[in-house]
Amino acid sequence: MKLIPLGTSGLSVPAVAVGCMRLAALDDARAETFVQRALELGANFFDHADIYGGGESERRFAKAVHMSPAVREKLILQSKCGIRPGRYDFSKEHILASVDGILERLQTDYLDVLLLHRPDMLVEPEEVAEAFEILKSNGKVRHFGVSNMNPMQIELLKKYLPVPIVANQLQLSIAHAEMMTAGIHVNMTDAGSVDHDGSVLDYCRLHDITVQPWSPFQYGFFEGVFIGSDKYPALNAKLTEIAAKYGVSETTVAAAWLLRHPAKLQPVCGTTNPQRLAECVAACDVTLTREEWYELYLSAGNILP
């Protein structure tokens, strides 16, 4: 497994993270098979959130991995909090209570990384800072990050936080590449020039914040997977062509497209299929050429000015 630095945390982490959102849908036997296969592949970075399966995904993971102190030492665990029914909540009380619940469900004393899950418009950054300081000082969380935040939202938090932001989880794929497209269409007046995210990709690179692409094989907002979709015939033809060249699957090529970017992205692969996860991990051994990267970008319907 290829390793990359996680922001300024000092951690070397797998270049492909295992997303556990759908783990609750598996029975115990299938969950154990999947988690154990991930570990065999060297994919020991597991991404959770307190809302996944209403907390059941975390419980199912702890059972599947046979959590113990010896097992815990081999894992890198990340979870997220802040989403509640009908609202977001970054209050000190909710963050602290959420982490306690996460730790109980995962059967561990600490998280390697805690992310704030989507921006809370009522955030009081001083409260977040107090919560993070408590969690850091009592050993419950070692590193902190955010999810779906733009540069100014991160800057607001950083003004008060006693710890660095090491990761920002953002939706990104060949078919959902607006944060890249805006950087290509600078000084243009077409639709691609609209910067929806405040140059968040460049910002994270400048500040050593690891971008973790979520839904790396989807288009739209959970509208579907582009691999094999009749909505993307040109993209799938190009994926198949390049996959044949390297002797890998289309999934591997799609993941390799993200890994080719010099920002050292860490895609979060949400599959619960052991074979599909192996195909994601195989992307670590494929380095696309510059020409192939742009061919894939264009075949998804993106344009160059």
211 and 265 Cβ atoms separated by less than 8 Å: yes
Please, are residues 254 and 239 in contact by the beta-carbon 8 Å criterion?
A: yes
Give, in order, the Cα–Cα distances in Å from 173 to each of 95, 177, 215, 222, 287.
30, 6, 7, 12, 17
State the alpha helices, DSSP H only, in 232-282.
Answer: 233-246, 250-259, 274-281
Size of the chain, expressed as the number of residues it contains: 305
Is the Cβ–Cβ distance between 21 and 31 less than 8 Å? no
**Separation between Cα atoms, residue 304 and residue 83, nearest integer Å:** 37
The residue behind tokens 């890998």 is 248
SS3 at position 47: strand
Question: From the candidates 52, 203, 219, 232, which is the catalytic residue?
Answer: 52
297 is catalytic: no
Q: How far apart, in whole angstroms, are the C-alpha atoms of residue 239 and residue 261?
A: 17
Q: Hey, which residues are catalytic here?
A: 52
